Amino acid sequence: MIHLITRENSHLYEDALNQMFALRHKVFVENRGWALKSENGLERDEFDTVDTAYLVKIMDDGSVVGAMRMLPSTEPHILSDVFPALVNGEVPRNRSTWESSRGCVQNNFGGRTVFADLNVAMIEFALIWGIESITFVLDTDLFPAALAVGWNLKPLGLPQEMNDESYTAGILHVTPETLKVVRDVTGIHRQVLHFNCPADQTVQVA
């Protein structure tokens, strides 16, 4: 199950969040060698704020095996503050556009399955929260993989070389049909997103 963690319920997930930040350190700092802020083996930055939402894959034993960060585009985010040059024109910024970033999976776990769950959960989250578009900064060579899981992803500009890697900004327009396509591609037809809100109710999506 993918847990949605927001300011409303983050107090229930302190251990899971620490595991997530540790996983991000392992994936992005240790494995990929990115020069990111990291303290005591936990990678977090200025975009991890009270406005941030997290999609976190938590196993029955409480271990975190995958995660994804969602940022409202009306607040500072990676595309607007770090990579605006990737966009041909203005960076999309409005209440119905969010950014997805820091998607990562535990290496010794079923990466493809976890990413599939995260992708479905991301679309479910968008539909529930009234998000119509999701922006990304991707390694250019991951663009085909994003299309392969059913994303109708459109580039926002031409690929650019930065720090010896090629990056491309893209935008995904979210509709109920998007969820149907992603479900068909991944074979995941159950709801995977769980929101442990203060009233202890699970938000449902069609």
pLDDT of residue 142: 81
Is 199 within the bounds of a domain?
A: no
Is 201 within the bounds of a domain?
A: no
Token pair listed for 144: 């085909």
Q: Give the Cα-Cα-Cα angle 142, 25, 104 (nearest 5 degrees).
A: 35
Is 161 within the bounds of a domain?
A: yes
**CA-based nearest residue to 161, from 186, 139, 134, 188:** 139
143 falls in which pLDDT band (50, 70, 90)? Answer: confident
Measured CA to CA, the distance from residue 205 to residue 176 in angstroms comes to 10
The partner residues of 139 in beta bridges, in order of sequence, read 167
Count of the separate structural domains present in the chain: 1
Is 94 within the bounds of a domain?
A: yes
Measured CA to CA, the distance from residue 5 to residue 107 in angstroms comes to 22
Token pair listed for 153: 């992803």
Token pair listed for 126: 């968008």
Residue 57 · residue 118 · CB < 8 Å: yes
User: Strand, helix or coil at 188?
Assistant: coil
Is 11 within the bounds of a domain?
A: yes
Look up residue 176 and give its DSSP letter. H
Residue 99 · residue 134 · CB < 8 Å: yes
Structural domain containing residue 64: 2-194
pLDDT of residue 168: 94
Measured CA to CA, the distance from residue 111 to residue 98 in angstroms comes to 24
Look up residue 77 and give its DSSP letter. -
The overall pTM is greater than 0.85: yes
**CA-based nearest residue to 68, from 9, 34, 32, 117:** 117
Is 200 within the bounds of a domain?
A: no
162 falls in which pLDDT band (50, 70, 90)? Answer: confident
Q: Give the residue-averaged pLDDT of 12-21.
A: 97
**CA-based nearest residue to 97, from 72, 68, 70, 122:** 72
Token pair listed for 125: 């989250």
Is 146 within the bounds of a domain?
A: yes
pLDDT single digits (tens) 50-97: 999 999 999 999 999 999 999 999 999 999 999 999 999 999 999 999
φ/ψ of 111, rounded to 5, equals -55, -45
CATH code of the domain covering residue 172? 3.40.630.30
Residue with tokens 């999609």: 55
pLDDT of residue 120: 95
The more confident residue out of 80 and 108 is: 80
